[in-house]
Chain A
């Protein structure tokens, strides 16, 4: 029935008018020679027909073991209480808030790639948007855990929402912590919607391609009877565009609200107007670093170099470099304002960061976030996959350190020396953090196994566009390797 891979379509016969005007200057976003059929078959085969590799089972197994560790850590927290964590006065916001900010920041790249780059018609986003969106969703899931666990009595988390209760009170809407509840839950919902809407046509492809009854039924159920009608596509594209337009200000607002959790307080080191823009830049920075960290092994393991090309990695490297410079500017301005602002508490906090008990972490953060990424200025580094992978990992670590420095060094020595103290995470803190990485990876492994990691219908569109643009030259009927 659907076995004929060969003849259709002839890319060269595409009308010129569909392609946009820009000629291809850089490396291709999709290797030449692919047809509608070949991209469909290659991506759907990963989910449907290819054997699940041993590596997947090992990777998922390890991640799942970490999920069990997370469960154990959470169970202990619920049984014993928040005292098993290292938090106490003066540092009442420890790992929980550090991890929350880190995870939610990582999520931002997914929305940026899917929404902002869609609006800007950056077609290179096509191959990476699906798993970047998935990454967003899983990162937000991990992020959401921490503030809830940090509540003290996490089982009452629903008190955060305005619902008519017998207690007769409402949330305090003047508190940034309540804004956070709305920002994060809206972000999670909109990310889920965006991701699912993007998946619908591909779920229909999987439904039509799968041989197994159960797979057919499950994908069919999720695809909701999508049949590719031109009228449906028209509304679908409108909905995607509107969602992108809505998600763009949303993504900027989420980390702004997160930064206001800090900036609205009077604590030295937090009370700063530069926090919102510098948090948003930092979020994009860490998010792209995470996309890079994930996409490099994935493209190697699943042999997707045709779709996630060097151009993708280079573009991401440039975004990392650019946002890294904004972050560097943020650090610089913090130090400058501490001096120029003339506030003695702010000045002593800044000196304490640089020379106090947490100084090694501060300088490690400067090294990871500002110094090391500067090698991305060099073309040779941006063309080296291994170097990019290592730099992305370093940036991930650096961004975690940044949040650690912001949370801990500001709190541990504030206005009164009599109330100074030190903070360190306990093994339960570490177990929860490492466990959340396990949860993230386990969800990602499941996603790679059961859903198309690259948007198939958008790749077909890309095939049509590239064929139309470069004329009959790229037309090699039959495609390659299929």
Chain B
């Protein structure tokens, strides 16, 4: 029916996280690279089994914190000491201890925004359409199904060969994923 290129990939369903973990390791050993696993809760070791590189998220958050902190302090300094200097009984204009609370709050604010927006952006969300949603059983990925999808863009992908491989690693059900 389908030539391999018209598929997004082949999806295998497993009953337990351990079976999925074993199958994922097996698939990597068999030489598959372009694949992803889908689970109803974070499964320890799965991202490593997929050889997922460390995310840049902590760096983004650090950057956000620095921008928020430095920006917040400079903003207050500029407003209170340069643009609108207010002489209150000769007290220093650059009254740094009084600037700390707002600096701190802005550090947290920008870092938290960086954490959430960064996580969403790196994950490519929001993404309302994804080929996997075409598979009816994929609904279980948010309940009790553990899925492994080997994608068609993998150089080693061959519809029948990959199907046979997934069945050999004890998949409960294997289905094609329409693009």
Contact = CB atoms under 8 A, between A and B. Distances in A.
B37 A229 contact: yes
Nearest to A232: B123
A474 B113 CA distance: 41
A172 B123 CA distance: 41
B70 interface: no
B152 to A, nearest CB: 17
Nearest to A206: B142
Interface residues of B, number: 67
Contacts, number: 214
A68 B172 CA distance: 55
Secondary structure dominating the interface of A = helix
B155 interface: no
Nearest to B21: A15
Interface in A165-188: 168-174, 176, 178-179, 182-183, 186
Nearest to A1: B136
Given A35-B144, A37-B144, A253-B105, A461 B41 contact: yes
A14 B45 CA distance: 14
B122 interface: yes
B57 A242 contact: yes
Interface stretch (B2-10, B74-82, B156-164): B74-82
A388 B77 CA distance: 50
B18 A15 contact: yes
A199 to B, nearest CB: 12
A230 B144 contact: no
Among A9, A37, A190, A228, max chain B CB count under 10 A is at A228
Nearest to A38: B144
A359 B102 CA distance: 37
B80 A168 contact: no
B127 A186 contact: no
Interface in B104-131: 104-106, 108-109, 111-113, 115-116, 118-120, 122-123, 125-130
Nearest to A201: B142
Interface string B32-46: 000011111111101
B101 interface: yes
Contacts of A218: none
A205 B145 CA distance: 12
A462 B18 CA distance: 16
Nearest to B106: A182
Contacts of A230: 36-39, 43, 46-47, 50, 52
A231 B50 contact: yes
Nearest to A180: B101
A179 B75 CA distance: 14
B119 A231 contact: no
A2 B140 contact: yes
A421 interface: no
B106 A238 contact: no
Contacts of B61: 242, 246
A93 interface: no
A2 B112 contact: no
A36 B141 CA distance: 11
Contacts of A242: 57-58, 61, 111, 115
Contact of A457 (B40, B98, B105): B40
A281 B55 CA distance: 36
A271 interface: no
A139 interface: no
A14 B22 CA distance: 12
A236 B111 contact: no
Contacts of A247: 108, 112
B84 A231 contact: no
A243 B115 contact: yes
Interface of A: 1-2, 7-10, 13-15, 18, 35-37, 40-41, 162, 168-174, 176, 178-179, 182-183, 186, 189-190, 193-194, 196-197, 201, 204-205, 207-209, 220-221, 224-239, 242-243, 246-247, 249-250, 253, 257, 260, 457-458, 460-461, 464
5 contacts: A209-B143, A228-B40, A230-B38, A234-B47, A257-B101
Given A178-B102, A208-B141, A246-B115, 16 more contacts: A9-B16, A174-B80, A174-B98, A183-B105, A186-B108, A189-B112, A193-B113, A197-B116, A225-B129, A229-B37, A230-B46, A232-B123, A234-B55, A238-B55, A243-B115, A246-B112
